[in-house]
Amino acid sequence: MSLFKKIVGKILNQPDTEEPQDFIKLGDQLKNADLDYKFAQLFTHSGGFFNYCADEAEALQTLNQILKIEDVKSVFCWDHDLRNFLDVIKIPSTKDLELFNDCAFITCEYLIAFDGRIMLSHNNILHYHSSRLPEKIVIMGNVSQIVSNLGDAMMKIKRTGNIKNLTSISGSNSKLDTPSKDNTKLFLLLLED
């Protein structure tokens, strides 16, 4: 972008259009990197908070810190295994999404290294649309869920079958599915398998 366009954009209060170019440039620079490293870089570049956890004990400690720092009072979490984490740290949770939930604690289908997005389905968020999720979302994922691109994820989904209502999310800069969700905080706890 030329200097003139930047100045005119600032005067007219137009957003910078260089951010997508920076994202594409970063993706090109990382094209030969390991998938997990590439995913982590692009996920954090898009505004997500990446947390690598060597085991479940470390994941529990990190989750507890996130929920305390973000002052979370009630969590939407329908997954039985994840609810065990919340029981240990004594955070109230609901199996159904309620208006008073200020955080969601969910799993994911795949982590897409190509653009740092996280694929979700009805297995993760039930019948709820991703735009209805609270402004704070904590996702538990495994290193084995990292795939190189959307095509690889779709191929794996076709093999497993019975997965519907697919959507994807990334850090807060992507604003989820709707422009009204511009202050979403997305945290990923990535567990080693």
Residue 113 in any domain: the answer is yes
Maximum alpha-carbon separation in the chain? 56
**11, part of any domain:** no
Which CATH number characterizes residue 89's domain?
A: 3.40.50.10420
pLDDT-derived band at 145 (thresholds 50, 70, 90) equals: very high
Residue 7 reports pLDDT greater than 80: no
Beta-carbon-side half-sphere exposure of residue 93 (alpha carbons within 13 Å): 23
Report yes or no on 24 lying in a domain. no
- pLDDT for 165 equals 85
Predicted pLDDT of residue 41: 92
> Which residue from 38, 19, 129, 140 is spatially nearest to 83, judged by alpha carbons?
140
Let me know if residue 181 belongs to a domain: yes
Mean confidence (pLDDT) of the chain: 85
The answer as to whether 115 is a domain residue is yes
Question: Which stretches of 77-186 are DSSP H helices?
Answer: 80-88, 122-125, 150-160
Q: How many domains would you assign to the chain?
A: 1
Asked if 85 and 60 count as a contact pair (C-beta separation under 8 A), the reply is yes
What span, in angstroms and rounded, lies between the C-alpha atoms of 135 and 155? 30
pLDDT one-digit tens code per residue, 105-126: 999 999 999 999 999 999 999 9
Does 13 fall in a domain?
Answer: no
Residue 25 inside a domain? The answer is no
For residue 152, what pLDDT band results from cuts at 50, 70 and 90? very high
Q: Is position 16 within any domain?
A: no
User: Is residue 104 classed as helix, strand or coil in its secondary structure?
Assistant: strand
pTM: 0.82
Q: H-type helices in 49-96, by residue range?
A: 56-69, 80-88
Given a cut of 90, is residue 83 above it in pLDDT? yes
pLDDT grade for 15, boundaries at 50, 70 and 90 = low
Residue 76, domain extent: 33-191
